[in-house]
Amino acid sequence: MLIAVESMDYRHRKSNSSCGLYGNIKPIAVIVCGPDGVCAFDMEAKPTALEPLRQDIPELDAIIAAFTT
């Protein structure tokens, strides 16, 4: 299983005559889950720490649980 980790930034503005929404999605990392465990790689394909991603994305633990037992 591959999991893409992205960050999202958005801004909005509103005036009397209009409103606008501007968004940006930036790739952060790729998590690879397999029979040998879970590995995370940054966008330069270098291994990166999984723990900071787990802290920033609480839902990640449930997604990778089957591969970490």
pLDDT tens-digit map of 47-58: 999 999 999 999
How many whole angstroms separate alpha carbon 47 and alpha carbon 9? 25
Identify the pLDDT of residue 46.
Answer: 97
CB distance 67 to 50 below 8 Å: no
Average pLDDT of 8-19? Answer: 92
How many whole angstroms separate alpha carbon 37 and alpha carbon 21? 40
Domain boundaries defined on the chain: 2-68
Identify the pLDDT of residue 36.
Answer: 86
CA dihedral over 56, 25, 65, 33, signed as positive or negative = negative
Name the pTM for this structure. 0.76
